[in-house]
Structure 1
Amino acid sequence: MKSLTFAAGILAATSAVAETPVLTVYTYDSFVSDWGPGPAVEAAFEANCGCDLKFVGAGDGAALLSRIKLEGAHSEADIVLGLDTNLTAAARDTGLFADHAISADYAFPMAWNDGQFVPYDWGAFAFVKNAELSSPRSFKALGESDLKIVIQDPRSSTPGLGLLMWVKTAYGDEAKAVWEGLADNIVTVTKGWSEAYGMFLEGEADMVLSYTTSPAYHLIAEGDASKAAVAFDEGHYMQIEVAAKMKATDQNDLADRFLAFMVSEAFQSIIPTTNWMYPAVTPAAGLPEGFETLVTPEKALLVAPEKVQAIREEALAEWLDALSQ
C-alpha cells in the first residue's frame, strides 16, 4: 500500500509539473544577472501567472537579434526582451514577431505607436568617468586628448551601435574624421557592455561608453559618488529598449500577459535600481532618490527606426575603416 501511495504521489507531482506552462524570454546577459532585473521580475510575474518564467541570456542586444535570426521560427523564445530602436526595423523585417495591443503612458520624450515592440525602459548613452577627472565635452575634443576609452562593438552590442549612431547623427559627413581622431584613444572594443564597464572599474581606461544613469548605481547601491557621466555639447543619443512576442510562440496568451505586466507598476518599479535605466512608465512613487543628480542631456538625438539600417551600413564602414588604420 505504501509503495502504491508513493507511486501515485510521484505521478501526481509529475503531472503538476508537466501542466505548468513555461514562458521563455530571451534577453541580454546583464538582465538575468543576480544584480539585474531578471530575478525580481521573475518572482513578481510568477506570483500571479501560474507559470514558470524562464529567462535565457543571449549576449548583448545586437547578439540577441542575431540569435533570433539564426533560430528563426524554430526558436524556443516566446518573448524577446532587449532590442532597441536601432534594431526594431531589422527585427521587423524578419517577420518573426507578432502584433500586440499594449498601450501605456510612456515617459520618454517621443510619441510611441509601434504595433509589435513594447518599450520597457529608456536612457541616453554617455561616457562615464571618475568624477574628479577633467574631461572634454565633445567627440572632437576627446579625440584631441590623451584620455583612454573603452567602447563596445556595434555589431554585437546595442551600446556600441548606439555610439555609432550618436557620432553619425551628430557629425554626418564628418563622422569618419571624428572616428579617426578617436582611434588612438580607444584601448579596446569589447563584445558587450559588461566587459567594457568591468575594464573601466579595474582602471584600464579613463572613460567607458555607458549611460547617463550609470552613476546612479554607484551612488545608490554602493554609496559611492565617485563616478559621473560627461555631458557632451553635441547632445546624447537615446536608447529605448523594447520587447516583442514571437509569432511562433505556443504560449500566446501568457506572452500577452507578460507584455502587459511589463508596463505595469510591478515591473516598472524594478527597473531604475536593477537595470539602472529610466522606466518606460514612471512609477507612482517617482524615481529613486539619487536620480535627480544625474546628467540631463540638453539635446536628445534619435534616428527613426526605419532609417537606421541605411545609416548604419555607412556608419559601420566608416568606423571599421578608421579603426583599421
Structure 2
Amino acid sequence: MRSLPVLPAAAGVFLTVAGFVWFVTEPAAGVPAATVSTPAAPVFASSMQGTRPDGQLTVRQEQLQTDPELLYLFDYYLSAQGEKSLPDILTAIRAELRQRLSLSPKALAQAEQLLNRYLQYKKALVVLEKEEAEAGSQLSTAARLRARLARLHQLRVTVFSEKDAAALFALEELRDTDALRRMEIFEDSQLSAEQKLQAYAKLDASLPARLKEEREAPQRIQNVEQQVAQMRVSGASEQDVYQFRAMQFSADAAYRLQELDREEQQWTSRIQQYQLALRQLLQLPDGPLHLPATLTPAQQMALQSLRNQYFSPQEQQRLAAYEGRT
C-alpha cells in the first residue's frame, strides 16, 4: 500500500511504515460539512492488518465533495490486487461507500459513478504506459516528462469532466509541474551550478503553500519523532506520546502514528520469528543471516511453506533484505 511526510493539521499527512501508506487530513474550513470517518472493520486483506481505509469523504448539502480523498479510498482497496480479485475489491469499495454515505443517496451515487470512471482511467493508464514503453524516445528526460504530463492531463479530462479532473488531480499536477521545472533546470547545460541553485531557490520561493508544507513535512516529522524517541527512553507512556503528537499535528494524525508504531512492532516481531524459524529449518550458523546459494527441492518447498506461514504473497516480495538476499 502506501517514509513519511506529515503536514500540519489543517492540511494532510502521508505516512508510510512497513509498506503501508496512510493519508490523514482535517476537514476544510469554510462551509459546514459532514466528514464521514471509518469505524473499525474486519481486515480486508492480510497485508492491511492494523490499518484503516484511507480517505475522508465530505458531504456538503447532499453533494459529495470531489477531491483526492476519494481516490485515496479507492487506492487503499485496489492496492490489495494480488491478494484479492478485482470483483472482490470492487465489492469491498462499494460496501465502504454505502456504509459511509448511507445518509446521502445523492453523494453515494456520485461516489459510485466516480469509482467507475476511476477504473476506466486506470485501465487507460495501463495502455498509455505500455504504448510509451514500446515507443521509446531519444528525447531528454524533461522532454519525455513534459509529453507524458500532457498525455496524462488529456486522459484525465477525457475520462472525467474538466471540473472533476481539476478537483481530483490538481495537486498532483502541481507536484508534477514542479518536478518538470526542476528537471529542466538540471538538464540546462547553459546554466552554471550556481545559476542552477539560484533557479531552484526561486522555484522553492514560488511554490504554492500546500507544496511548501509537503516539502517541510519530512523534517518536521523527523524532529517530532526524535523527541518521541527521547520521551520513550525517559520512560514516557504511550498515552504521553499520543498527547504530544496530537499537540504537534492533530488527534487523528496522532492516532494513526500510534497505529503505525503498533504495526511496525508487529512486523518486526514477525520478521524475528521468521528468521529464527528459517535458521532452524536450514540449520544456518549464528551471525548475519544469508540464504545458501543453492537449495534442494525439499528445502525450497519447506522454505516457501515457512514464508506462507508468516507472510502474505505481497509481503513476501519484501523479504529479500531479511533473508540475506541482494
**How would you bin the TM-score normalised by the shorter chain?**
under 0.3
Give the number of the structure whose alpha-carbon radius of gyration is greater. 2
Q: Which has the higher relative contact order, 1 or 2, with Cα contacts under 8 A spaced 6 or more apart?
A: 1
Q: Say which structure is richer in strand.
A: 1
Q: Provide TM-score, normalisation by structure 2.
A: 0.25
